[in-house]
């Protein structure tokens, strides 16, 4: 009996020792793995943050471009020239050619895939801090609704001080009510097709008032109209978003081409944060008043633009400028204004 008792005691001792060894082993594994993870995070963090900023910048620019071009990055064959770009015909001699939401999502994804590397190429600045960064081609999936959701697979290899880590999965979400825009377009299409060779200005005026947007009709030829739906504060607080599409009609009676008011072409403009920007809009006509559709500045009645942009306003803006005489004749033009943020060279530390 005594001998058996000693054996059981020995077994208990062995189990205790094994338990201690297991606890120590697990603790060491977790400690080493945690240190490895922390080290990886320290390497990735500055590069990951920079890429995320590039994603945000590229998405905002992509939204403006895609909306301005009627939902397209690569314009379809049935398009017309307008302000140095192509605008798709949504209405073409009685046909309706409005892209579905999936097409627009794919067009925006392609824009991001092609344009994001232009921003992330500036990661070379990290080389001065001892980093080595290798990037592959990004793949993007976009979902548009009341919120824009984007999944980006962007394989990136980051090496620093003999350590190498990898980044791949990024995401981006932004409050942007694309459904509102798309529903307005489809409501207008239903009314438009009741009389396909007629521009329903009265209905469009009511639709704009009910949904909080403005519009502009540009007769670019005897039988072509470019529709511009202008949404304020939908993308950014101080920026107007233009959604353009065109119509081609079977009009036998040409519209008058001579204009009582005509704005002279406005070239691409660059302003710098913290520095006063001045520009004089010129136009032909009598007793003209000038108007702008932006929160960035207020153009005076003589067409003079004068303001000092802030760093927070950096980016590229498409701004509608309008000139009108006292008889109600008017013309408009798009000013493309890029506000450059002046920054010092990045200082990256471990």
Q: How high is the mean pLDDT in each 10-residue block of the chain (350 residues)?
A: 48 57 50 44 78 94 95 95 93 95 98 94 79 90 96 92 88 94 97 93 93 92 92 79 94 64 92 94 94 92 95 89 90 91 53
Question: What pLDDT score was predicted for residue 46?
Answer: 83
* Residue-level pLDDT at 47: 85
> Nearest 5°: CA angle at 222, between 217 and 223?
70
pLDDT of residue 19: 54
Give the per-residue pLDDT at 16: 53
Nearest to 144 by CA among 187, 189, 116, 112: 112
Distance CA 185, CA 134 (A): 43
β-pairing, 262-263 with 214-221?
unpaired
Q: If you ran DSSP here, which 8-state letter would residue 274 be given? A: T
Residue 251 structure tokens = 């009009």
- Record the tokens describing residue 72, joined without a space: 């397209």
What count of other Cβ atoms lies within 10 Å of the Cβ of residue 191?
Answer: 15
pLDDT reported for residue 7: 54
Looking at residue 25, what is its pLDDT?
Answer: 52
Question: For residues 324 and 291, is the Cβ–Cβ distance under 8 A?
Answer: yes
* 310 CA to centre of own chain: 20
- Identify the pLDDT of residue 128: 77
């Amino acid at each position: 009996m005594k001998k058996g008792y000693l054996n059981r005691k020995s077994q208990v001792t062995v189990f205790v020792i094994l338990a201690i060894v297991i606890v120590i082993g697990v603790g060491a594994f977790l400690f080493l793995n945690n240190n490895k993870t922390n080290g990886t995070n320290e390497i990735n963090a500055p590069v990951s943050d920079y890429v995320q900023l590039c994603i945000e910048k590229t998405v905002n620019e992509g939204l403006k471009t895609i909306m301005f071009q009627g939902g397209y990055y690569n314009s379809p064959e049935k398009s017309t020239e307008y302000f140095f770009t192509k605008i798709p015909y949504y209405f073409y001699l009685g046909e309706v050619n409005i892209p579905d939401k999936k097409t627009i999502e794919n067009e925006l994804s392609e824009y991001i895939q092609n344009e994001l590397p232009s921003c992330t190429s500036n990661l070379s600045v990290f080389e001065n801090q001892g980093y080595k960064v290798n990037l592959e081609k990004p793949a993007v999936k976009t979902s548009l609704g009341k919120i824009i959701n984007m999944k980006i697979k962007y394989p990136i290899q980051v090496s620093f001080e003999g350590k190498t880590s990898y980044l791949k999965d990024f995401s981006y979400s932004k409050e942007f009510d694309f459904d509102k825009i798309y529903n307005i377009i489809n409501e207008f299409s239903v009314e438009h097709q009741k009389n396909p060779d007629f521009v329903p200005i009265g209905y469009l005026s009511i639709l704009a008032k009910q949904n909080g947007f403005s519009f502009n009709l540009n007769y670019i030829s005897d039988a072509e109209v470019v529709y511009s739906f202008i949404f304020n504060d939908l993308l950014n607080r101080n920026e107007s978003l233009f959604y353009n599409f065109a119509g081609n009609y079977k009009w036998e009676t040409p519209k008058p081409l001579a204009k009582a008011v005509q704005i002279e072409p406005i070239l691409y403009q660059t302003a710098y944060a913290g520095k006063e920007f001045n520009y004089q809009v010129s136009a032909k006509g009598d007793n003209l008043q000038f108007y702008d559709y932006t929160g960035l500045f207020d153009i005076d009645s003589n067409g003079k633009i004068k303001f000092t942009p802030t760093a927070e306003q950096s980016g590229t803006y498409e701004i509608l400028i309008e000139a009108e005489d006292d008889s109600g004749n008017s013309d408009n033009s798009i000013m493309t204004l890029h506000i450059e943020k002046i920054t010092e060279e990045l200082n990256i530390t471990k």
